[in-house]
Amino acid sequence: MAELNQAPAQSGGRTSKKLSTRVDLTAMVDLAFLLVTFFMLTTRLSKPVAQRLAMPVDGEPAPVAASHTVTLCLGKNDQLVYYRGTLDSPIDAPEVVGFSKNGLRQALMAEAEKIRQLNKPMIVVVKPGEHSVYSNLVNTIDELNITHVPIYAVADISAKDIELLKQKEIF
């Protein structure tokens, strides 16, 4: 908005200058809206990141060597039991760990080191129990990605695994 400055009033031969204390901010507001519009149009919003999920192929499952398979059975109270091999003849005895950095992550790294000596990729089977919570499954998959486990699957928990959880008192 433009403003007209009037000539100062003269009184008795003296001229007194009264300066306007009002600041015109119209140009500043226009500039602010132009900048907001510019940044809105040029800024790229972050795209949501989705995790890749490989679905199994129909048909009979291929046999997998037990020597490089680790099974994680998720239980209650933010705990899980893991073992390498089969439950009937485990290569490593079943152990209970939590979801802390020193729990599941350390266990996965230790098992990966043992399997790496066999020159085979580590395969992890995640079996959530009835009393495990969804966030524990998500945390488990996050830990698998952090520790760079190449192959993993989520499977239904078997009756033998439920008995193991009951023995360890986390079912």
Q: Output the pLDDT for position 51.
A: 67
**In the prediction, which pLDDT does 16 show?**
65
Residue 128 has pLDDT above 90, yes or no: yes
CA distance linking residue 104 with residue 98, whole number of Å: 6
Share of the chain above pLDDT 90, in %: 42
Query: Is residue 2 over pLDDT 60?
Result: no
Which of 3, 15, 125 is closest to 61 using CA atoms? Answer: 125
pLDDT band at 10; cut points 50, 70, 90 = low
Res. 36: pLDDT tops 70: yes
Residues 107-126: what's their mean pLDDT?
Answer: 91
Name the H helices within the chain: 26-42, 106-116, 134-146, 159-167
The lowest-confidence range among 15-19, 20-24, 31-35, 114-118 is: 15-19
Torsion of the alpha carbons at 136, 138, 144 and 145, rounded to the nearest 10:
-150
Q: What is the pLDDT of residue 160?
A: 92
Average confidence score pLDDT of the chain:
84
The answer to whether the CB of 127 falls within 8 A of the CB of 155 is yes
Can you give the pLDDT at residue 34? 93
Task: Note if the pTM is more than 0.85.
Answer: no
Q: Which domains does the chain have, with CATH numbers?
A: 66-167 (3.30.420)
> pLDDT of 140-162, one tens digit each?
999 999 899 988 989 999 999 99
| pLDDT surpassing 80 at residue 46 | no
Q: What percent of the chain has pLDDT over 70?
A: 87
pLDDT tens track for 47-94: 777 767 667 678 887 777 888 899 999 999 899 999 999 988 889 889
How many CB atoms are closer than 10 A to CB 168? 16
Do residues 45 and 39 make contact, with C-beta atoms less than 8 angstroms apart? Answer: no
